[in-house]
Amino acid sequence: MKSKPTRRDVLKKGSAIAAGMAVPIIVPSSVFGAKAPSRRLNIGVIACGGRSKVTTSYEDYEKSEVVAICDPIRDRRLMKLKKHPNAKDYEDFRDVLKLGDVDAVHISTGVHWHVPISLAAARAGKDMYTEKPLGVSVEECLAAREIVDKHKRIFQYGTQNRSMVQLRLGLELVLNGHIGDVKEIYVWAPQGHSGGSATPVLPVPDGYDYDLWLGPAPEAPFCKDRCLVQGPPNGVYHIYDYAIGFMAGWGAHAVDMLQWWADQTGMGIPVEYKGTGTIPTEGLFNTITNWDVECTYANGLKMRFMDSKTARKVDGIPHIKEVKFGHCALFVGSKGWVAVTRGSWKVFPETLYRKAKNAGEKKLNVSTHHQQNFVDCVVSRQQPVSDLASAVQSDLMCHLSDISIRTGRSIRWDPKKETIVGDVEAAKMMSRKMRKPWTL
């Protein structure tokens, strides 16, 4: 007797059809029998810290639900279960990736886990929403392309500004020439944090799998500011073993707004980076706190990437007093300017506000809800509004800026070979050693 197809079998078959036809799939509940659970997409949440709060959106959406909760810290995952009472909890992400009824995962771990778990998810046949920033090195950014290029998975980057109408309308004004030729670009993000203490060293609490929390990062003593503070400031963002600080932690949003525009123009990313910044010399936190990087594109256009405090002090940034955004991409053209941020925008001349509703033929993808856009694209098999290709590009800019500051030199990026050229020491900084047994 022939067995009935499972829910995942039907979704896989439907996904393959949709990939060729580019149409949404609707799987009728009759396929699964009278007692079928639903037609909803099953989501596994990997990591239950502060950034996982958005996963309640899956329960609020008729097309999705959370069925698995995972975190190496027992208290966090049990707390998360209160928001998702129908889900089961797991300590190890690898157990979630083995589940046949999990269609996609939402990854909100520390940055040092983003790419390794995303790659593991892709190899297990899962689609993924991965929080920003992308990875802890240039090598990880480039390796992440396997997710889409080889495994054909759906990847949504957690740069939710792209699902806000003000950003899309502002960038469409720039794309359609309403500010004339773009002459200057300024991008800034909140400054980082110094401080933190590696003492006192504490015993690892019961129910805290510290070895799994560290994962590919180096061995380190367990302490409050490293492992127990949810923030701000949260040490996992400001310790170099796990991230490059707010240069990417917040910079991912600001640079991503710029990159959305650059993707449509064929600009790629800048090929030269020359920066200065402050690296704390005391305390546990050792990522760059303040920075100012001049980034030059192949065509000579310059972009200045800064923290917000530095941006307020710099002379010569047009309209900086009018644009009070904490993170921002400011495009200055020959006929006007546009500044965009999360949920807000400013333009000059103000007549551009009216023109933005129909700015011209050049359009950006429309999304009004980031998690729902991800679910819709898992079903349709079309890449979401914050796709992996763009995530790689924007994250590379953050890492190359960081390397320039740490070496104290101008560095050059070869976009064809995708490597730093002419500086052996800087090129070595494109990768990080991973703690065994973890690899990419």
Task: Calculate mean pLDDT across residues 368-373.
Answer: 98
pLDDT of 269 higher than 80: yes
Q: How far is CA 431 from CA 87, 215, 248, 259, in A?
A: 37, 16, 16, 23
Long-range contacts made by residues 349-356, C-beta under 8 angstroms, separation at least 24? 352/173, 352/178, 352/179, 355/173, 355/178, 356/169, 356/170, 356/172, 356/173
Which has more confidence, 10 or 75?
Answer: 75
Which pLDDT band, with edges at 50, 70 and 90, does 204 fall under?
very high
Q: What is the largest CA-CA distance in the chain?
A: 78
Please tell me the predicted confidence (pLDDT) of residue 320. 80
Which pLDDT band, with edges at 50, 70 and 90, does 50 fall under?
confident
What is the enclosing helix (H) or strand (E) of 81? helix 74-81
Q: What predicted TM-score, i.e. pTM, was given to this entire model?
A: 0.91
Please tell me the predicted confidence (pLDDT) of residue 63. 97
121-131 tens-digit pLDDT: 999 999 999 99
Q: Which CATH superfamily is domain 165-361+388-440 in?
A: Dihydrodipicolinate Reductase; domain 2 (3.30.360.10)
pLDDT of 138 higher than 50: yes
Is there a contact between 40 and 67 (Cβ–Cβ < 8 Å)? Answer: no
Task: Calculate mean pLDDT across residues 208-222.
Answer: 98
List the domain boundaries for the chain: 7-161, 165-361+388-440
Write down the CATH number for the domain with range 7-161: 3.40.50.720
pLDDT of 34 higher than 90: no
Q: Which percentage of the chain shows pLDDT scores above 90?
A: 85
Q: Which of 202, 220, 203 is nearest to 211 (CA)?
A: 220
Quote the CA–CA distance of 357 and 297 in Å, as a whole number: 30
- Structure token digits, residue 40: 């909803």
Q: Which of 321, 343, 346, 344 is nearest to 331 (CA)?
A: 346
Please tell me the predicted confidence (pLDDT) of residue 276. 98
Which has more confidence, 16 or 198?
Answer: 198
Q: Which residues does residue 253 pair with via DSSP β-bridges, in sequence order?
A: none
DSSP characters over 23-53: ------GGGG-TT---SPEEEEEE--SGGGG
Is there a contact between 261 and 175 (Cβ–Cβ < 8 Å)? Answer: yes
Please tell me the predicted confidence (pLDDT) of residue 194. 97
Which pLDDT band, with edges at 50, 70 and 90, does 28 fall under?
very low
Which pLDDT band, with edges at 50, 70 and 90, does 314 fall under?
confident
Please tell me the predicted confidence (pLDDT) of residue 112. 98
Quote the CA–CA distance of 290 and 124 in Å, as a whole number: 40
Please tell me the predicted confidence (pLDDT) of residue 15. 45
217-262 tens-digit pLDDT: 999 999 999 999 987 888 999 999 999 999 999 999 999 999 999 9
Please tell me the predicted confidence (pLDDT) of residue 36. 42
Q: Which percentage of the chain shows pLDDT scores above 70?
A: 91
Domains 7-161 and 165-361+388-440 share a fold: no
Q: Which of 113, 152, 151 is nearest to 134 (CA)?
A: 113
Please tell me the predicted confidence (pLDDT) of residue 409. 97
